[in-house]
Amino acid sequence: MNAEAIIEKINTDIKDKVQEVSLAAPLRINVKVARAQLLAVLQYLKDQFGFTHLATISGVDLGESFEVLYHMASSLATVNVRILTPRRDPKIPSVCTVIPGAILYERELQDMFGLVVENIPDPRPLLLADDWPAGEYPLRKDWHFNRPAEIIPGGK
Amino acid sequence: MEFKVSLGPQHPALHEPISLRMTLDGEIIRDADLKLGYNHRGIEKLAESRTFIQNLYLTERICGICSFSHQTCYTQGVEKLMELVPPRRGLYIRTLVCELERVHSHLLWLGVAGQEAGFESFFMYTWRDREVVMDILDIISGNRVHYAMNTFGGVRRDIDEIQRKRILDSLDLLKSRTEYYLHIGASEPTFVGRLAGVGKLSKERAIALCAVGPTLRASGVPMDVRKDDPYAVYDEIPFEVCTTDSCDVLGRTVVRVKELLESYKIIEFLLKNLPAGPIKVKAPRKVKENEVFSRYEAPRGENVHYIKSNGSDKPERLKVRAPTLANYPATIEMLKNGFIADIPLIFAAIDPCICCAERLVQLDNPRSGKSQVLSFSQLRHMANQRYKNVNFKKKESLWPF
């Protein structure tokens, strides 16, 4: 089965659940879905085509909203499942029930973008320091690093 | 009663800072938890403020062992955004360095595995041979660690006839040595006895936890980006994906040794079929607004970069996922129900000096979060109490193997 056949099958089977399906490049399928349909679409991809491997989850700050991409890979092709979540209410569902290996990527998203992953099995911070101030999310575009003034002990 | 023992982040045996907390039942690990972030350098944020060409050298510095993996993954992604097609000679040289890096990384890993298994001479042998590969990389690029070979649209250095001959000569030596290691790995009873059955990871769990690379292939899943999603010139090269079904550390060792032999075949093919012509084409400075998802088979597994451009000379977003992060959930699975003494083998880089790591033991229930600090005399008393009442027959069923 090639990428075109996968797109055709998605279009016939779950047309009501996806907003947009396109072939971005050879072996790269872009699928845009609503937040509420994410789990159903990932489950469908897993059952129908065997997309069991989640390569990673990428977050992108678009200003008014966040874009979250689930890169599903298999020997057939790579499907980038894309959802949008508004900045005011940055909630995304946890996909750990479908893909247990997603846990570290979801924790990373919580740390770096301040997304709220609903029903996440383990919500602890992953990468940021223990004394990292609450409410600061470094990969958001409006976050800038301000280097603290260097204090030399005993210096002038 | 459960003991919670922590290892790291700063520990003489750790090569890099990572904190590992294990819940123990005697010698057996019941649960393990990782804490990351001690080495987080904010490279993804930094990349957004640098130009594409500056990021070429930034991505190379993500890792010291698989530096070329990250750089190639990034370069191939940006080349797709720029709609560049590198000349074939450039791609052949790029693939050559990819495979040489795999050889040096796998030889390094074999040495570490030998050392952790208590097979010191194996460590000495493989690291001696690794110098041969490092010298080849030095001949090609002038560097031993960060090769700086890639540029958008090809590679930066060509190889001539004398270099080609020297690499082929060194390859014969490496090939005979690696065959010897495969022989040792399969026939040396102490080595096999130490590695077999350690760090079990079933095929189903490996797939569910999204493991990558030799870890996944040793559990019998033939996933290799070079075959599934061929980049550079891998679609022209005949090679096999190495797998085993043993699901343990021995299997991971065998997969890596077999991959070494495959890599030598690939390198030989590349050098014997090296096409003539230019090695690079000119690349634009600015990149059109687009996005790309780039995959690469690093020595440790699938490496992915997601790059989004916004029409300027700087990327809007660069997301990097190194193979080791993908293998952490699987590592926790492997540690569970294994022995403390197997941690170094499973982690392959951590020395098992746990007794000296802690003077005071903290008893902890990881689920409820309750903890209490006990002195060693209290602890000894509790341990004696426990072994007075222990039911040995019942305990046998808990033995990991």
Domain ranges of chain A: 3-101
**Mind telling me how many Å the CA of A16 is from chain B's nearest CA?**
26
The reply to whether B112 and B218 lie within a common domain is yes
Last residue within a domain, chosen from B297, B321, B345: B321
Domain annotation covers residue B105: yes
The reply to whether B139 and B284 lie within a common domain is yes
**Mind telling me how many Å the CA of B16 is from chain A's nearest CA?**
15
- Residue B68 in tokens: 């070329």
> Can you tell me the mean pLDDT for B348-375?
39
CB contact under 8 A, A59 and B319: yes
Last residue within a domain, chosen from B301, B321, B341: B321
Which chain A residues are within 8 Å of B211, Cβ to Cβ?
Answer: 101
Alpha-carbon separation of residue B44 from A2, B57, B62, B368 (angstroms):
33, 13, 10, 35
The reply to whether B186 and B263 lie within a common domain is yes
The reply to whether B304 and B373 lie within a common domain is no
Q: Among residues B214, B213, B200, B205, which one has the least CA distance to residue B247?
A: B200
Answer yes or no: is pLDDT of B366 > 50.
Answer: no
Distance of CA A103 to the CA centre of its chain: 11
User: What is the domain extent for residue B85?
Assistant: 43-321
B308 at interface of A, judged by CB pairs closer than 8 A: yes
The pLDDT-based confidence of B254 (bands split at 50, 70, 90) is confident
- Residue B243 in tokens: 């797998």
| pLDDT of amino acid B400 | 40
**Which of A55, A105, A128 faces B37 most closely, judged by CB atoms?**
A128
Q: Which of residues 101-130 of A touch B (CB under 8 A)?
A: 101-105, 112, 125-129
- Residue B115 in tokens: 């050392």
Last residue within a domain, chosen from B279, B301, B321: B321
Which chain A residues are within 8 Å of B291, Cβ to Cβ?
Answer: 24
| pLDDT of amino acid B357 | 23
**Mind telling me how many Å the CA of A83 is from chain B's nearest CA?**
15
**Which of A61, A104, A139 faces B328 most closely, judged by CB atoms?**
A104
CB contact under 8 A, B37 and A75: no
The reply to whether B25 and B59 lie within a common domain is no
Nearest CA in chain A to B331: A101
CATH number, domain at B180?
Answer: 1.10.645.10
Nearest CA in chain B to A107: B36
Nearest CA in chain A to B333: A101
- Give, for A30, the enclosing helix (H) or strand (E): strand A28-33
**Mind telling me how many Å the CA of B393 is from chain A's nearest CA?**
35
Here the ipTM equals: 0.93
Distance from C-alpha of B185 to C-alpha of B386, rounded to nearest angstrom: 41
Low-confidence ranges of chain A (pLDDT < 50): none
DSSP state letter for A150: P
Residue whose pair of structure tokens reads 């204090």 in the numeric block: A151
A46 at interface of B, judged by CB pairs closer than 8 A: no
> Can you tell me the mean pLDDT for B219-225?
92
Partners of residue B385 on adjacent β-strands = none
The reply to whether B54 and B31 lie within a common domain is no
| pLDDT of amino acid B328 | 85
Residue B369 Ramachandran class (φ > 0 left, ψ -120 to 50 alpha, else beta)? left
Residue whose pair of structure tokens reads 């958008």 in the numeric block: B152
DSSP state letter for B280: B
The reply to whether B167 and B279 lie within a common domain is yes
B204 at interface of A, judged by CB pairs closer than 8 A: no
Distance from C-alpha of B224 to C-alpha of B241, rounded to nearest angstrom: 7
Answer yes or no: is pLDDT of B263 > 90.
Answer: yes
| pLDDT of amino acid B351 | 30
| pLDDT of amino acid B34 | 83
DSSP state letter for B144: S
Q: Centre a 10 Å sphere on the Cβ of residue A4 and count the other Cβ atoms it contains.
A: 11
Residues B311-361: tens digit of each pLDDT? 999 999 999 998 888 888 888 888 888 887 777 777 753 332 222 222 233
CB contact under 8 A, A145 and B325: no
Partners of residue B373 on adjacent β-strands = B362
Residues B69-91: tens digit of each pLDDT? 999 999 999 999 999 999 999 99
CATH architecture under which domain A3-101 falls: 2-Layer Sandwich (3.30)
Taken in order B269, B176, B147, A28, the sign of the CA dihedral is positive
The reply to whether B222 and B359 lie within a common domain is no
Please, where are the H alpha helices in B61-158?
Answer: 67-82, 88-116, 120-141
Distance from C-alpha of B242 to C-alpha of B210, rounded to nearest angstrom: 18
Alpha-carbon separation of residue B265 from B199, B261, B272, B365 (angstroms):
30, 7, 11, 52
Domain annotation covers residue B34: yes
B241 at interface of A, judged by CB pairs closer than 8 A: no
**Which of A56, A127, A128 faces B319 most closely, judged by CB atoms?**
A56
* Phi, psi for A61 (deg, rounded to 5): -90, 115
The reply to whether B101 and B250 lie within a common domain is yes
Q: pLDDT: is B393 or B138 the higher one?
A: B138
Q: Among residues B138, B67, B96, B90, which one has the least CA distance to residue B298?
A: B67
Pairing of strands A116-118, A91-93: parallel
A100 at interface of B, judged by CB pairs closer than 8 A: yes
Distance from C-alpha of B63 to C-alpha of A6, rounded to nearest angstrom: 36
| pLDDT of amino acid B4 | 85
Nearest CA in chain B to A126: B36
The reply to whether B90 and B24 lie within a common domain is no
8 Å CB contact between B202 and B171: no
| pLDDT of amino acid B8 | 72
**Mind telling me how many Å the CA of A75 is from chain B's nearest CA?**
5
The reply to whether B22 and B148 lie within a common domain is no
**Burial of B175 from C-beta contacts in 10 A (0-12 / 13-18 / 19+):** middle
- Strand order from edge to edge, sheet including A53-61: A18-25, A28-33, A78-86, A65-73, A53-61
CB contact under 8 A, B228 and A25: no
Residues B145-167: tens digit of each pLDDT? 899 999 999 999 999 999 999 99
Answer yes or no: is pLDDT of B239 > 80.
Answer: yes
The number of distinct structural domains making up chain B is 2
**Which of B36, B37, B304 faces A71 most closely, judged by CB atoms?**
B304
B388 at interface of A, judged by CB pairs closer than 8 A: no
The reply to whether B364 and B308 lie within a common domain is no
Specify the pTM: 0.87
Distance from C-alpha of A95 to C-alpha of A53, rounded to nearest angstrom: 12
8 Å CB contact between B7 and B350: yes
Residues B113-122: tens digit of each pLDDT? 888 788 888 8
